[in-house]
Structure 1
Amino acid sequence: MAHHVLAILNQPSAEAAPHDADAAPFAFVDPSTPQLSVLDLGATRGDGIFETISVGSGRAQALEHHLRRFAGSAEKLELPAPDLDVWRAAILAAIAELQPGAESWVKTVLTRGVEGDGRPTGWVYATHTSDFTRVRTEGIRVVTLDRGYRHDVESTSPWLLAGAKTLSYAINRAVLREAKRRDADDVVFVSSDGFVLEGPTSTVIYRVGDRVLTPGTGLGILDGTTQANVFRYAESLGLSTGFELATPDQLRGADAAWLVSSVRLAAPVRQLDGQPVAVDAEFTAGLNEYLLGLRD
């Protein structure tokens, strides 16, 4: 069994021709050898989508939610619709092929393929997760940064692809470098009209009294897979959950806040824009234990 697994899909979408009419739906290849054409639009234009799925003790977490979001991103980019049955099979096969470990992750990537070819490119990559124990327990320092869009950009300017999980991640990487320059670990995006949105790779969660909240829907932010499970956990403790618009000041005034994502899971915010934020260690520990033990 391997520590890194790569499966190349022969026909990522039933709407397009296969790469090899006689080949299996997917095949495992050596991840250390070249597989992608330099003419692929995923490489030359960032024209594609992806999902990253947490795997705990060999079980994919929120798999169906990730697949729905994958298909939704493809629709926003007008990519050929992914054949979800093939993708699901490739994901599960990659997990089975991977050396057993407590925590792993799987990335699915769909690109428009080589320009003019008409056949999309798709692959599934699986590997083990880094150790996030420290950030899950000690927390992270976060700064707010202006995203440059109004909070209603998803409805006013759908061509900007807000809310799609695309390969165009240059901005997401740039803001993390900016965070480092400001002596912080991560970022919360704020809309140009002053509302909290999301992190570059995470969803914002915060608690006010007995309510666990996240920014409202329709804000051009991702439909959080981990956020949905955070709400389930909170509700199991008798807390109420909901979607609400929030300003940075409201986030600073919350009883606790987290950035949650599929691989890092729940990282408590211990500092926001240089100001200390209370860390709810008990809730955080219980939440991460719950997320690690999830089955889809």
Structure 2
Amino acid sequence: MAWRFALVIDPVASDDQREDFSDTLHTVDPNAPVLPLGELSAQRGDGVFESLGVVDGHPQEVGPHLERLARSAGLCDLPTPNPAQWRAAIERVAAEAGAGESVIKLILSRGVESGASPTAWITLATAPDNLRARRDGVRIATLDRGYPADVPARAPWLLLGAKTLSYAVNMAAIREAQRRGADDAVFVTNDGVVLEAPTASVLLRVGDRFVTPEPQAGILHGTTQLSLFSHLESRGFSTSYETVLLDDLEDADAAWLLSSVRLAAPVSAVDGRPKTVDRELTADLNAYLLSPRD
């Protein structure tokens, strides 16, 4: 992605009631050195983030993304972000987006080692070209996540429901999927429960029902999935959160990977076995996801 704009934020307390946060937002060169060497986001991946899609200058799902940022911060014992301050920062960055699709990334780090406060910043970049993935679909390889389905409840310190900066495993999974001739991966517990993709939620269509894996299974609750469920329910479809097994993924009438930037990418193959792509429904889903949503 081509970085186009960036702000560094001086985080304020979550209950700070000021109306003007402009003196806490500092424009920086997105392609110049900004962070100190002791920054824990770089040293340990110790922080949380969110990625927002921006369509023609409109940042999508700001409220749900800020709520999830706060939830991730809580799981990681980071200070709660001030939602008004972060909204002001998002509006400032979005004003630079212009036409087309862009990506705004929100980052909240524990800061400098032995420092007194967290570090926060926001970047704007041009979104990747996702037209082909939305139209033709993505081939997925299912990968063993290495633990059974009950681990999140037994070991909350694994932070399995937080969107942290520690993405080395996620990126390694995508590389492994590509080595297997696929485009992306879907994690499965070692007792056969479908979880999520490294950077996306899983959605299945079974007849007229739309199903996604239970968020209590230690997966990230997708903002795009939540919005899409609301849209589908308004059209009279049934939606549900369920325990999804590998056989359910393979047998579903259709499946998608959902994310804020790629949007709805239909699954065209699972572990080398072709899967039908519902092009008409996919186009409808993406038309909704490209419309302005707050």
Three-state SS of the structure 1 residue aligned to 2:70 is helix
Q: Which residue of 1 aligns with 2:90?
A: 91
| Paired amino acid for 2:77 | E
- Report if the CA contact (8 A) 2:3-2:31 is conserved: no
Alignment root-mean-square deviation, CA: 1.7
Three-state SS of the structure 1 residue aligned to 2:23 is coil
Q: Which residue of 1 aligns with 2:184?
A: 186
State the alpha-carbon separation in 1 of the partners of residues 12 and 206 from structure 2. 44
- Report if the CA contact (8 A) 1:13-1:120 is conserved: no
- Report if the CA contact (8 A) 2:9-2:120 is conserved: yes
State the alpha-carbon separation in 2 of the partners of residues 37 and 150 from structure 1. 39
| Paired amino acid for 2:110 | R
State the alpha-carbon separation in 2 of the partners of residues 3 and 33 from structure 1. 11
State the alpha-carbon separation in 1 of the partners of residues 245 and 271 from structure 2. 13
1:146 correspondence with 2:147: no
1:161 correspondence with 2:173: no
Q: Which residue of 2 aligns with 1:68?
A: 67
1:139-177 Cα distance to aligned partner (Å, 9 max, x none): 010010011122222211000001100000000010111
Three-state SS of the structure 2 residue aligned to 1:117 is coil
1:50 correspondence with 2:21: no
Identify which range, 113-122 or 149-158, moves more after superposition: 149-158
| Paired amino acid for 1:38 | L
- Report if the CA contact (8 A) 1:49-1:73 is conserved: yes
Q: Which residue of 2 aligns with 1:18?
A: none
Runs of 4+ in 1 over 6 A off after TM superposition: none
Q: Which residue of 2 aligns with 1:82?
A: 81
1:20-69 Cα distance to aligned partner (Å, 9 max, x none): xxx91111111111101110111111100000001112111111000000
- Report if the CA contact (8 A) 2:3-2:30 is conserved: no
- Report if the CA contact (8 A) 1:13-1:80 is conserved: no
Length-normalised TM-score, structure 2: 0.95
Alignment equivalent of 1:105, drawn from 103, 106, 128: 103
1:59-81 Cα distance to aligned partner (Å, 9 max, x none): 11111000000000000000111
Three-state SS of the structure 1 residue aligned to 2:276 is coil
Three-state SS of the structure 2 residue aligned to 1:24 is helix
Alignment equivalent of 1:137, drawn from 135, 138, 150: 135
1:177 correspondence with 2:175: yes
Three-state SS of the structure 1 residue aligned to 2:256 is strand
State the alpha-carbon separation in 2 of the partners of residues 193 and 83 from structure 1. 40
| Paired amino acid for 2:84 | D
Length-normalised TM-score, structure 1: 0.94
Q: Which residue of 1 aligns with 2:272?
A: 274
State the alpha-carbon separation in 2 of the partners of residues 135 and 186 from structure 1. 11
State the alpha-carbon separation in 2 of the partners of residues 229 and 284 from structure 1. 15
Three-state SS of the structure 2 residue aligned to 1:212 is strand
Task: Quote how far apart the aligned CAs of 1:97 are.
Answer: 2.4
Q: Which residue of 1 aligns with 2:7?
A: 7
Structure 2 unmatched ranges of 5 or more? 15-21
Task: Quote how far apart the aligned CAs of 1:233 are.
Answer: 2.4
Q: Which residue of 2 aligns with 1:242?
A: 240
Identity %: 51
Task: Quote how far apart the aligned CAs of 1:3 are.
Answer: 6.8
